[in-house]
């Protein structure tokens, strides 16, 4: 078994042979081993299989990645900045073009990893160039972004280049333009630059009509985008952005910078959906699910078009997920939105499940649990007192991890414990309220601390996660139906209530975080991987998660998606398919969350009723998701007996009125 980095020398040779034109920066240095863009650390098993590298292995090469990465995007950076400042001016255009060209070749070469692909890509380049010539006025192909995305995914960890952010950021707004089926490759840049202006000034008239080239080809963009759905963050206020941020990442932010927030959110919404495409699209603050599939179209488009998607996927050849996502698409195809029976198509065994569902499982009252609980309560009689400390905020914090025996604490005193949170490899101490464990006291506190504070392990993990982020090679066009729908719909406030600030159980000091994680667009990996957080060694030897990790919007979407794919009740399946990269979130969690979603979706949200007015409500779930949940619930005959049938007729309409449930 040998550890290899990507593909070596032979490929480089190939790359040069195939004569990718323009200057090649990465190739020019012969010593380079790893390609920052798509190379992925793998191990070659005896049988020739490629397996993801272990943490250690990743760590070994980490430096290379960093080094290269720094220099790579810089070029494009200049171009982008230029774009922004120049707006639509023609000079800006040419600038862009040239910079694009550079990034082009630069990025392309690394991809030569697979020779066949390379040649293919090259063809594309040629094509693109021709196109460029033909459409000089319009702009240039938008390749760089795809690469940058990949790049950032791979090396997220280490440093964020403004260029990337800007790029992404600038592209987000593009999405609000309805994707056209047209395959033309260009225009995006003009739009981009135009958009950027609009970004800063949301009030600038209708976005669609704003730019001359309002028709944008989806396939010309990285499928990363089309994949993930579209979101317009432009018009959101800071507060809204905060809310969205929280919904997305499950934590608060104090950053006031709109741009920052927007790109973080954008990244979160896109990047973290690594496994499969969503059937949802966020348009104008609304989340709508696209009913039709475009997988074939897209695949087609990519082939003929030479989209970035192709290139991007080079690194991840035949990941198991691609298959699944395709499956998904097929299913989605077969059953449009409502009355979707695709699930049955998927698995013939569903019928059985249906039968099983008929009879609820009956269950004896648990014994041990009850006994234990009562025992605890009788023994230390003050759980109430302790929990009341929650409201009083933070008092003294002890630098060390110490728990006072509950009985000892004077009634007036607050019991506060500091827990060492490791976030992104940085140990951050946050005060939190000690919760009396119902059972199984921690075995070894020192071990815990060591685990938490050792940045290495975590970092390695992060790296791995980042590297293993993958996406499926399909993009989606908004189907006409949903397009029309969304267009006609009134803009719906995404957030019913303003985020509560006070009761947050543990407020992460964002400032410190900002230092360490700061301008990385690592949200996805952040979300994915810091499972060093709040886990507790159990007597059984396993590490058990402790305490609440807020569900992010992405997760919810993925969950819904998963359910639609596999049906309810196959949680382990769903976990494998859609939550592969989320080490936390057990199948049980999925189940629980689904239960809650169901509850939320069927809990009528009478407009006047308290829910909306409650300020402390947690982050709302976009109505569209709830709608989807309901549909799924229906088709799986999971409708809660009480509220089920009665409400259904009005669902499609009422959902738009019903603001939301809560995450």
Partner DNA sequence: CTTAGGG
Partner DNA sequence: CCCTAAG
Residue 439 interacting with DNA (CB under 7 A): yes
Q: Would you mind telling me the total number of residues written for the chain in this entry?
A: 663
Residue 549 interacting with DNA (CB under 7 A): yes
Number of residues that bind DNA (CB under 7 A): 34
Residue 545 interacting with DNA (CB under 7 A): yes
Nearer to DNA, 88 or 380 (CB): 380
CA 503 from chain centre, in angstroms, equals 26
Residue 76 interacting with DNA (CB under 7 A): no
Among 120, 401, 451, 584, binds DNA (CB under 7 A): 584
CB of 636 to DNA, least distance (A): 10
Which residues touch 111 (CB under 8 Å, ≥6 apart)?
35, 37, 38, 117, 118, 121, 147, 311, 314, 315
Nearer to DNA, 382 or 583 (CB): 583
Nearer to DNA, 312 or 549 (CB): 549
Nearer to DNA, 283 or 600 (CB): 600
Nearer to DNA, 484 or 588 (CB): 588
In whole angstroms, give the CA distance from residue 36 to residue 7.
12
Residue 562 interacting with DNA (CB under 7 A): no
Using the CB atoms, write b or e for 545-562: b if 16+ within 10 Å.
beeebbbbbbbbbbbbbb
Residue 443 interacting with DNA (CB under 7 A): no
In whole angstroms, give the CA distance from residue 108 to residue 20.
8
Is residue 414 classed as helix, strand or coil in its secondary structure? coil
In whole angstroms, give the CA distance from residue 418 to residue 429.
6
Instruction: List, in sequence order, every residue forming a beta bridge with 2; answer none if it has no partner.
Output: 44
Tokens of 620: 């709302």
DSSP states of 295-350 as a string? Answer: HHHHHHHHHHHT-HHHHHGGGGTT-HHHHHHHHHHHHHHHS-STT--HHHHH-TTH
Residue 546 interacting with DNA (CB under 7 A): yes
Residue 569 interacting with DNA (CB under 7 A): yes
Residue 400 interacting with DNA (CB under 7 A): no
Residue 201 interacting with DNA (CB under 7 A): no
Using CB under 7 A, which of the segments 19-27, 110-118, 510-518, 563-571 binds DNA? 563-571
Residue 451 interacting with DNA (CB under 7 A): no
Residue 570 interacting with DNA (CB under 7 A): yes
Residue 369 interacting with DNA (CB under 7 A): yes
CB of 360 to DNA, least distance (A): 4
Nearer to DNA, 125 or 632 (CB): 632
In whole angstroms, give the CA distance from residue 519 to residue 161.
8
Among 49, 133, 201, 364, binds DNA (CB under 7 A): 364
CB of 550 to DNA, least distance (A): 7
Nearer to DNA, 260 or 662 (CB): 662
Tokens of 631: 């549909």
Nearer to DNA, 46 or 641 (CB): 641
Nearer to DNA, 3 or 587 (CB): 587
Question: Binding mask 591-620 vs DNA (x if CB under 7 A, - otherwise)?
Answer: xx----------------------------
In whole angstroms, give the CA distance from residue 627 to residue 623.
6
DSSP states of 116-166 as a string? Answer: HHHHHHHHHHHHHHHHHHHTTTT----HHHHHHHHHHHHHTTT---HHHHH
Contact residues for DNA, defined by CB under 7 A:
353, 360-361, 363-369, 372, 438-440, 544-549, 551, 568-573, 584-585, 587-589, 591-592
């Amino acid at each position: 078994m040998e550890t290899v980095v990507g593909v070596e020398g032979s490929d480089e040779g190939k790359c040069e042979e195939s004569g990718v034109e323009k200057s090649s920066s990465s190739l020019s240095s012969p010593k380079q081993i790893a390609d920052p863009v798509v190379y992925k650390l793998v191990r070659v098993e005896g049988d020739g299989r490629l397996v993801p590298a272990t943490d250690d292995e990743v760590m070994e090469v980490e430096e290379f990645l960093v080094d290269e990465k720094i220099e790579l995007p810089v070029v494009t950076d200049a171009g982008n900045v230029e774009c922004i400042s120049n707006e639509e001016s023609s000079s800006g255009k040419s600038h862009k073009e040239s910079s694009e060209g550079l990034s082009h070749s630069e990025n392309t070469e690394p991809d030569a990893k697979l020779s066949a692909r390379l040649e293919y890509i090259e063809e594309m380049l040629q094509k693109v160039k021709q196109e460029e010539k033909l459409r000089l006025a319009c702009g240039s192909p938008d390749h760089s972004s795809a690469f940058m995305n990949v790049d950032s995914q791979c090396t997220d960890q280490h440093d964020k280049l403004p260029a990337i952010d800007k790029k992404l950021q600038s592209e987000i707004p593009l999405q609000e333009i309805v994707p056209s089926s047209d395959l033309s490759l260009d225009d995006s840049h003009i739009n981009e630059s135009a958009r950027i202006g609009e970004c800063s000034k949301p009030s600038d008239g209708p976005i669609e009509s704003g730019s001359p080239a309002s028709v944008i080809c989806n396939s010309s963009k990285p499928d990363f985008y089309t994949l993930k759905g579209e979101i317009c963050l432009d018009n959101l206020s800071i507060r809204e952005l905060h809310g969205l941020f929280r919904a997305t990442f499950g934590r608060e932010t104090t950053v006031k910078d709109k741009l920052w927030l927007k790109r973080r959110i954008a990244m979160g919404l896109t990047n973290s959906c690594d496994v499969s495409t969503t059937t949802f699209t966020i348009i104008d603050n609304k989340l709508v699910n696209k009913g039709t599939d475009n997988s074939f179209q897209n695949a087609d488009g990519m082939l003929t078009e030479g989209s970035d998607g192709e290139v991007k996927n080079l690194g991840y050849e035949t990941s198991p997920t691609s298959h699944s996502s395709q499956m998904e698409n097929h299913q989605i195809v077969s059953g449009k939105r409502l009355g979707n029976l695709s699930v049955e198509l998927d698995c013939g065994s569903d019928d059985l499940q249906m039968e099983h569902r008929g009879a609820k499982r009956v269950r004896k009252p648990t014994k041990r649990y009850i006994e234990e609980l009562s025992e605890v309560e009788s023994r230390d009689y003050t759980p109430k007192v302790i929990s009341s400390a929650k409201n009083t905020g933070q008092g003294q914090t002890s630098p060390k991890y110490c728990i006072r025996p509950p009985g000892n604490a004077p009634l007036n005193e607050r019991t506060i414990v500091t827990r060492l949170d490791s976030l992104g490899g940085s140990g951050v101490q946050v005060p939190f309220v000690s919760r009396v464990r119902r059972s199984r006291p921690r075995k070894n506190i020192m071990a815990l601390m060591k685990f938490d504070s050792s940045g290495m392990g975590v970092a390695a993990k992060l790296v791995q996660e980042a590297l293993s982020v993958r996406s499926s090679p399909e993009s989606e066009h908004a189907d006409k139906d949903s397009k029309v729908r969304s267009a006609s719909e009134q803009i719906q406030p995404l957030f019913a209530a303003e985020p509560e600030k006070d009761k947050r159980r543990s407020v992460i000091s964002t400032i410190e975080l900002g230092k360490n994680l700061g301008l990385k667009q690592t949200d996805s990996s952040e979300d994915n991987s810091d499972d060093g957080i709040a886990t507790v060694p159990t007597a059984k030897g396993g590490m058990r998660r402790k305490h609440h990790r807020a569900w992010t919007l992405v997760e919810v979407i993925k969950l819904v998606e998963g359910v639609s794919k596999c049906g309810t009740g196959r949680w382990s399946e769903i976990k494998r398919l859609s939550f592969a990269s989320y080490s936390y979130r057990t199948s049980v969690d999925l189940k629980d969350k689904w239960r809650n979603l169901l509850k939320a979706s069927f809990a009528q949200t009478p407009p006047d009723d308290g829910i909306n007015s409650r300020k402390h409500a947690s982050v709302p779930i976009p109505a569209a998701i709830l709608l989807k949940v309901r549909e799924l619930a229906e088709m799986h005959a999971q409708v809660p007996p009480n509220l089920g049938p009665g409400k259904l007729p009005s669902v499609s309409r009422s959902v738009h009125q019903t603001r939301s449930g809560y995450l």
